[in-house]
Amino acid sequence: MWKVDLHNHTVFSKDSLASPQKMIEAAKAAGLDKMAITEHNNLRGALAAKEIDPDFVIVGEEVMTTEGEIIAYFVKEEVPKGLRPEEAIERLREQGAVISVPHPLDAVRRSAMGLESVLRIINVVDAVEVFNARVLLFDPANRKADELAEKYGKLKTAGSDAHTPWETGHAYVVMPEFSNAEEFKKSLAKGQIVGRKSIPFVHLASTYAKWAKKLKLVRVVT
């Protein structure tokens, strides 16, 4: 069985300063067997990480639609932000990607899709992220997401939503080995969700990364 963290970001997302190399090293140190790199609205970090360690990295993308974020795995072509959810999903489907909805019911995050929008697309996505380590400690969003996945018979994903190396591995799926998108879906169906929430201060790291890049306080080498 593999331990697979399905939600991670690197310096190629605007709210992270972590290099792909550092994220891979941290994930392995945390005992993971695979990790998905899921940058905001681009594939650059995932492709850079895949080049470093092809067998360890799943190429993903977290796409901001007009109604919140969706997340996809085994992505081959970048999908731009700002599309209607249905159009983004159609573009991902055309390339054989596996599609999930990250932190769908997180009441704090503006990027969360929310129940009304999720229900409109629930029949055309493969999975729901039922454990996101960045959901606040007393927020029931993960439990509600799990209930949603159960009700509609969706596969379940989990991820640390790591933006720093020390976050990765806080949430993952224990699942059978796989080598492609179709095997991945079959493995998810047999998966077990494992996770612990990150401390709230992780959000400060993301905020710092955004401002540090904007004000050019740090030199980011990509």
Q: SS3 letters for 144-179?
A: HHHHHHHHHCCEEEEECCECCHHHCCCEEEEECCCC
The confidence score (pLDDT) of residue 221 equals: 65
Is 222 contained in some domain? no
Q: Supply angle C-alpha 22, 81, 73, rounded to 5.
A: 50
The confidence score (pLDDT) of residue 180 equals: 97
The confidence score (pLDDT) of residue 216 equals: 84
Burial of 114 (0-12, 13-18, 19+ CB in 10 A): middle
Provide the 3-class DSSP secondary structure of residue 2: strand
Is 186 contained in some domain? yes
The confidence score (pLDDT) of residue 85 equals: 98
CA distances from 2 to 56, 65, 170, 185 (A): 11, 31, 15, 14
CATH classification of the domain holding 101: 3.20.20.140
pLDDT tens series, the chain, 222 aa: 999 999 999 999 999 999 999 999 999 999 999 999 999 999 999 999 999 999 999 999 999 999 999 999 999 999 999 999 999 999 999 999 999 999 999 989 999 999 999 999 999 999 999 999 999 988 999 999 999 999 999 999 999 999 999 999 999 999 999 999 999 999 999 999 999 999 988 889 999 899 999 888 877 766
The confidence score (pLDDT) of residue 222 equals: 62
Is 11 contained in some domain? yes
* Number of domains making up the chain: 1
Domain that residue 143 falls in: 2-214
Q: Supply angle C-alpha 192, 194, 200, rounded to 5.
A: 150
- Is residue 13 within 8 Å of 184, Cβ to Cβ? no
Is 220 contained in some domain? no
The confidence score (pLDDT) of residue 3 equals: 98
Instruction: Provide the sign of the torsion angle of the four alpha carbons 220, 92, 32, 4, taken in this order.
Output: positive
Is 154 contained in some domain? yes
